[in-house]
Structure 1
Amino acid sequence: MVQALADLKATQEMAAADFESEADAEAGASEVEVREARVGYDAQGQRLDKFVVGMAPEFSRSHLQGLIERGLVQVQGQVQKTAARKVLAGQLVRVELQPTEESQAFRAEPMALDIVHEDAHLLVVHKPVGLVVHPAPGNWSGTLMNGLLAHHAQAAHLPRAGIVHRLDKDTSGLMVVGKTLEATAGLSRLIADRDVHREYLALCHGRLADELHIDAPMRRDPASRVKMAVLSGGKAAQTDVYPLAHTAEAPWISAVHCVLHTGRTHQIRVHLAHKGYALLADALYGGTPALGLTRQALHAAKLSFVHPMTGETMVFLAPLPPDLAEAWAQAGFPEPAL
């Protein structure tokens, strides 16, 4: 027990150190630097963006082109917004080196969070459709992580602000987030041991009449980096699917209750599509819009676990969001109960 506590403390200290180093680097990157350089005879006639890359080689060319387009580059005191403009020997080029979006991702952004439960150690949030959980290319701001950083001060001292699992952008529902290093580490262990139980409600194409117990390994689709696929050599993935209702006639649509036993990326979406029951409006995996839905018909409706600090059994339910509830009713299905 003593050794286990020592190992946990060491892990937490390492995580804190990693986070602080990352935060320090990002804080330094957020400072605006101005650089100036005189065009030499060897650069006569060179494109402006190429010359600027030589002035700031630590930045990508695309980022520097963006600075030009934003009017942050001057030639002889005049703003130049055309990356292909040719520079002439003797001209003075001035660049305002604004930080990249990625370097500014870890910052607090106040937002309304639908908090279902909160105590000194953790919180449970009901994530709406459209909210990205963690900053990534194309979504460097406005994420749940940014909101958590604004919600409580301790989040700034936690890896990923205490986020221990994720939901896709267009999947709604419940998530648990740590508020301290001890609780975050405890939640991470529970998830690794499959002791955080996640249950989903979904609408899929097809007439599903019998239970499905899907045990099919998954990995990145070699034909598309944005997709996952059922393929040999992938990581183990298990999903139980229970039929709740289906339409009275074709085109068939079924309401289902899904229980995850593993937490692979896009797991329910991939497993159901693999069995011929793609989620409504899940274009990535073969679903088509129906019942007014334009996003995948998936909702994390139930979350249960033993509190890592108090030992209390925690069970949370989240009602269907308005768009999915409307589709559910339009299909004529009774209100779901888990």
Structure 2
Amino acid sequence: MIQTHRKGDWFEIIVPDKWANFSVEELFRNIWHAPKKQTHSLRMEKRVKVNGQIAVWTVPLKRKDRLEIQFFTEEELTIKPTFYDLSILYEDDHLLVVNKPANMDTHPNSSEQTDTLANAVAFHLQAKGEYRQVKHIHRLDKDTTGAVLFAKHPFIGSILDQLLEKREIKRTYLAIVHGILSTKKGTIKESIGRDRHHATRRRVSPGGQKAITHYEVIDTNHQESISIVKCSLETGRTHQIRVHFSYIGHPLAGDQLYGGNPIFPRQALHAVKLELIHPFTEEMIQCHAPFLDKKEIFTRIDPYRI
């Protein structure tokens, strides 16, 4: 693990052996793949230092050099902070993973909306004296519960966006579906596009975007004719799990938009686990999201064993 510290507005990294002989410029470009605009801004504003001195970006770093980057400056908030008693799964100076409850949007859809997870995260940071923009790296549907990743400053946000695009942030879901699946482990490969006849629905469509869902049945109830399946995604299409299971004849319980029966108070979908390699420390971050509503059928499953 790479040794790091926070010092006020500055983030300090002790240069490890494997970064020796990389210049600061090469580190930003080839290791972190940082956006050119952000890199240029940090360079021009002299917000990168090496051993206490303004960095010379083309000079090779040495083992145990102190690389300092000014990440933690205050920003004007555009999302109104709103109190909510958050369930926080992981937090450090750069990122935050929150367990989203049901019936809550991930982010505002208009400037007037103040009851979203992003508003609550903004309040959480402000209460800690951190006046910075929060950015959701991915989103969950309003009635889907579980782990959501947020970035606490723009630089880490850009890196996390890239990791998500490259599928290096792994998300695991649990879904309750109608029926008993004949195949206990499989993959659904069906492209997904918009439904021309419904504003919010998606549907399997040959002309849609590539969509791949892997699944495994982990529990069944023959009396109620339901199965609990573990899902992981190679693609992140809107409503992907809901559309795919409806297409194969096993819609999610409670998902009336896609043919599910209302035996569940919402679509039965929970983001149970989130995993990534931390971009700065290179440690494995693994978050398990417990079930916030103890009355739901999901509680027969131990989320920490997924």
What is the TM-score normalised by the length of structure 1?
Answer: 0.65
Find the counterpart in structure 1 of residue 271 from structure 2.
300
Matched, 1:170 2:143: yes
Q: CA deviation at 1:335?
A: 4.7
**Number of residue equivalences:** 244
Supply the distance in 1 between the matched residues of 2:125 and 2:86 (Cα, whole angstroms): 12
Aligned equivalent of 1:112, options 85, 98, 102: 85
Amino acid paired to 1:151: H
Matched, 1:191 2:214: no
Contact 2:146 2:270 in 1 (8 A): yes
Alpha-carbon spacing, 1:4–1:107, altered in 2? closer, same or farther (3 Å): same
Supply the distance in 2 between the matched residues of 1:11 and 1:151 (Cα, whole angstroms): 29
Contact 2:81 2:121 in 1 (8 A): yes
Supply the distance in 2 between the matched residues of 1:174 and 1:318 (Cα, whole angstroms): 6
Find the counterpart in structure 1 of residue 193 from structure 2.
219
Aligned equivalent of 2:261, options 288, 296, 302: 288
Find the counterpart in structure 1 of residue 296 from structure 2.
326
Aligned equivalent of 2:212, options 238, 242, 265: 238
Supply the distance in 2 between the matched residues of 1:314 and 1:151 (Cα, whole angstroms): 21
Supply the distance in 2 between the matched residues of 1:156 and 1:274 (Cα, whole angstroms): 45
Please say which of residues 279-288 and 136-145 is displaced more in the overlay: 136-145
Deviations 1:7-40 (A, max 9, x none): 7253437999xxxxxx98xx9xxxxxxxxxxxxx
1:8 partner SS: coil
Identity of matched residues, %: 34
Q: CA deviation at 1:106?
A: 2.6
Contact 1:304 1:316 in 2 (8 A): yes
Q: Which runs of 5+ in 1 are unaligned?
A: 17-22, 28-104
Find the counterpart in structure 2 of residue 62 from structure 1.
none
Could you say which structure has the higher helix fraction? Answer: 1
Contact 2:180 2:222 in 1 (8 A): no
Higher relative contact order (CA 8 A, sep 6+): 2
Supply the distance in 2 between the matched residues of 1:334 and 1:186 (Cα, whole angstroms): 33
Deviations 1:148-174 (A, max 9, x none): 22222597654xx22110011111101
Could you say which structure has the higher strand fraction? Answer: 2
Supply the distance in 1 between the matched residues of 2:112 and 2:268 (Cα, whole angstroms): 22
Contact 2:245 2:252 in 1 (8 A): yes
Q: CA deviation at 1:328?
A: 4.2
Supply the distance in 2 between the matched residues of 1:215 and 1:322 (Cα, whole angstroms): 32
Aligned equivalent of 1:315, options 280, 286, 301: 286
Matched, 1:8 2:34: yes
Contact 1:118 1:124 in 2 (8 A): yes
1:152 partner SS: helix
Aligned equivalent of 1:254, options 206, 213, 227: 227
Q: CA deviation at 1:269?
A: 0.7
Matched, 1:228 2:202: yes
Amino acid paired to 1:262: T
Deviations 1:81-114 (A, max 9, x none): xxxxxxxxxxxxxxxxxxxxxxxx7322222211
Pick the structure with greater CA Rg: 1
Find the counterpart in structure 2 of residue 82 from structure 1.
none
Find the counterpart in structure 1 of residue 242 from structure 2.
269
Alpha-carbon spacing, 1:3–1:222, altered in 2? closer, same or farther (3 Å): farther
Q: CA deviation at 1:289?
A: 1.4
1:148 partner SS: helix
Supply the distance in 2 between the matched residues of 1:155 and 1:162 (Cα, whole angstroms): 14
Amino acid paired to 1:123: L
Supply the distance in 1 between the matched residues of 2:155 and 2:196 (Cα, whole angstroms): 38
Supply the distance in 2 between the matched residues of 1:15 and 1:247 (Cα, whole angstroms): 57
Find the counterpart in structure 1 of residue 174 from structure 2.
201
What is the TM-score normalised by the length of structure 2?
Answer: 0.72
Contact 1:121 1:309 in 2 (8 A): no
2:276 partner SS: strand
Contact 2:195 2:203 in 1 (8 A): yes
Supply the distance in 1 between the matched residues of 2:192 and 2:171 (Cα, whole angstroms): 19
